[in-house]
Amino acid sequence: MRLHLLGLPHTVTTDAFSHCAFTGKVKKFAPMMRPIGYEVIHYGVEGADCGATRYVEVMTQADQHRLLGHDNSDPTKFHGDDANIGNPLYVEYNERLQRVLNTNVQKGDIVCHPFGHAHASASHTHRGINVETGIGYPTTHFDLRIYESLAWMHWHLGKHSRGGSAYEWVIPNYFVESEWPVVETPQDYVLYFGRICDVKGLPTIVEMAKRMPEQEFVICGQGDPTPYLKTPNIRYEPPKHGLERGPLLGNAKLVLMPTAYVEPFGGVAVEAMLCGTPVAASPFGVFTETIQQEQTGWRCRTLNDWMRAVELAPTLDRRAISAYARGRYSLEAVGPLYDHAFQMIHGLAIGKDWYSFPASF
């Protein structure tokens, strides 16, 4: 079966953009699906490197920079600000993408949309089947959908006041185990790793740091850290990419994710746990699925909860935390879930519908 994998117009599918969750999903997709027997054709900006069977260059990096108005060289800029389907980059990219999809996609092929509506304007004239493969965004477009978490699927069902469908799935994000080495004896810092802004919970970290002056807190990611460097025990690190991320997460004694909104997946939590690092997170959203209370971390409500998690972090079994994460979120664990969904979807094209598809368990 052939999968056509659509890369993001405003990034390049390489480790240099690994801090973009959606680019990361594109990059790891082919190494997950090719061993199962799929042909994966990647469409994207020049320079992509993701283990695909074949690469189709939709746009050069020079054209991307010209249409964006910058060259992606500012390490603190949040790349999501460029993810605007109405901007000149997206308009031009999708016009080109539509032409190559019309040429390459055959009947029964699956076109994978890791960024959903971003490529919708390019995807209504080819002969294949459109599937949103990992919904972690608020606006869906196609009928066949794979969500990142139960929490996010239910958020969408509630948003649209509708029931579910047998052809909607929940499949978690997936990770390369070797990128996340297990650290059994961490250093003494507490880490926040992600976009630096209020909605991600940075004010909570500031309050913790004020009351725990002997504890070092590290904040690392895209954005302006200045408003949060309120105490001498808060240290800033610029964004990390690729294999730089594992040691930073693994050597933390605890990772903090005090997200203020309903988090669709929160990949940093799983990345930390793959390294054996416990996670303290908000008590809602995906964290109700990914964090085992008092075993792999804590879901915190009050300031004292957050501070207590710092104190208790050394008591958890870091080997057990890593084993839990690897058993659920490795490429080998998640790939078969995608395979089953794709077999059902392909069945629609060859006459195996709801009445005739074999049992799934």
Q: What is the pLDDT of residues 226-255, one digit of tens each?
A: 999 999 999 999 999 889 999 999 999 999
User: According to the model, what pLDDT value does residue 29 have?
Assistant: 98
pLDDT at 154 over 90: yes
pLDDT tens figures, 297-307? 999 999 999 99
DSSP 3-state of 204: helix
Provide mean pLDDT across the span 280-287.
98
**Domains of the chain and any CATH numbers:** 2-174+330-350 (3.40.50.2000), 177-327 (3.40.50.2000)
Q: How far is CA 176 from CA 27, 28, 142, 242, 317, in A?
A: 10, 7, 28, 11, 22
User: According to the model, what pLDDT value does residue 76 have?
Assistant: 65
Query: CA dihedral in degrees (286, 289, 295, 298; nearest 10)?
Result: 30
In the chain, DSSP assigns E strands to 2-6, 39-45, 54-59, 110-113, 129-135, 145-147, 168-170, 189-193, 216-220, 234-237, 254-257, 279-281, 297-299
pTM above 0.85, yes or no: yes
pLDDT tens figures, 160-189? 999 999 999 999 999 999 999 999 999 999
What does the mean pLDDT of the chain come to? 95
User: According to the model, what pLDDT value does residue 353 have?
Assistant: 83
Helix (H) or strand (E) holding 24: helix 21-33
